[in-house]
Structure 1
Amino acid sequence: MTWRTAMERALYGQNGFYRRGERPAEHFRTSVHASPRFAAALARLLASVDTALGHPSRLDLIDIGAGSGRLLINILDAVPADLAERITPVAVEIAPRPAEVPSRIDWRTTPPDRITGLVVANEWLDNVPLDVVELTADGPRTVLVDPANGAESPGPPPVPDDRDWLDRWWPLAEPGDRAEIGRPRCAAWASVIERLDAGLAVAVDYSHTLRSRPPYGTLTGYRDGATVPAIPDGSCDVTAHVALDACATAGDQAGATATLLTSQREALRGLGLSGSRPPVELAHKDPRAYVQALCAAGEDAELTDPTGLGSFGWLIQTAGIPVPGVLHPNR
């Protein structure tokens, strides 16, 4: 079985990892659950998009791969009341709707056909199933996997479309080198941009670019907060980092107006998460405010840590508006 088929069954098949309603926060650390300040930053981005669109009477807020729905809930809590009342929030998720999700949030398995507003895809693309190719003495071969135990074996050469993607985005140099064919992720992201009539879409994920592809790939399993072998039997999350530069080109071809590829560290700094410690003088003037500011600084530091969550890639693409200036902290 190819890795793409095995991942599809393990994650989204009957009783698959996500189909049965597993919560990401129970298995790995996410920005959403690290701090509500992540949602507060996205609320600021939403306000910038709203301004660029001229404050429409209806503003879509779409969370693709919504998990528990916590990100949408936190964003709605963070925006001003006059903006909140114009937002149409949609959670796109195959898992069952959690009981705690407010009724105003539309819970569905596919995005709306037409979107005006903000689309957030936080740690979604890394779970879009893909095939793995390894360079052998006989040329590149698609890697086959046994879903029961993760044992691998060489398969046929990649199909022409995958070979074209490989040559463009992940050329292999030495026997034993591996690539994860991101073509399904490019198609998934392009389908988002095609739906975006006006506004901004952002994909947030562990990622790499053409200059820094890992020679042996990134397939990883997560279960109960620990890294485990990536065995596609449905018992764990199976993920691989995202070639966001390839997705950016797919988005451009799908009609994106403007593109910015940056890191979470830089994006969140632009959105107001500096991680700066409060002045010590505040501890004497207002101890409670000092403690609150110190906690906020610690949360900001985790979200922007260049060796952790801050290293996530942010792919921002727009339709009909420029990339908001707040996303350029060094401008």
Structure 2
Amino acid sequence: MLERYEVEAFLTLAEELHFGRTAERLHVSTARISQTIARLERRIGVPLFHRTSRRVRLSSAGLELYGEVRPAWERIGAAVVRAVEAGRGLSGRLRVAFVGPAAGQLLAGIAQEFRERHPDCEVRLREAQLPEVMPWLREGAVELALTCQSVLGEDVAVGPVLVREARMLAVPAGHPFARRGAVSPAELGGLTVLRLPGTPSAFEDRTPTGGLGGLGPGGPLGPLGPEATTFNEALTLVGAGEGVFEVGAHARRYFARPDVAYVTLTDAEPVEWSLVWPADGATARVRAFGEAALAVIGPAEVGD
């Protein structure tokens, strides 16, 4: 088993390729670094560095060891930092994801309120595509996310609804619906629905033929269209006539396009936005951020 100081000496020397600079970075003597590396090489049984009076370079064994150890060492360091920050409570760093510009603008205001309440805690905001939210939370890339509830899983906790907005349908600008203010689910029979990965429709009820049922007298929607990887890609496909795409009302303001029209879906459940976090990740920082969100936004109402 390698000791911590041996790992640090090896990794630092592998990056600096200079015993003097390595000693300076680790605040020890050059002799200490030389002795540590020599002892490590004896234990492993192969040279890790080739040394001459003029240069130091990694051996093939040293290069392989560096490639294996560096990522693992970084993960250990990150885990320790997260544990320390969790122990400090309302200090350290809180990483929060958002989906789309409307959520980003909202989150920026919440983050400002949080910073004023807890100046010792840094807030980092990151934009995510909708299908990225759950992987980021599960992998620990972020501790918290502001997103619509269509992407939730069993392993996440959900805060109060912060925003409710009308559900709309994005259609090609030349589509007959584009001249309408609203359409009902009963009128949607036969339409091809575009989707992002892992985001079900409000009307989804798959039939054996692969269509979408549950729409009442108008019959099922048509088959699923091409799967888009981003929100903008889905709207581009709509503009190209590939299908229709369910959106929240904020899309009219933040995603106005000449090739796409937005039509309100009557009798459809609103799109709900909440803060979400891993079920076992309700730290003091996460709870305090939720409190700041409620202070900024107040009770959710359906908006347009």
- Greater helix proportion: 2
Same fold (TM over 0.5): no
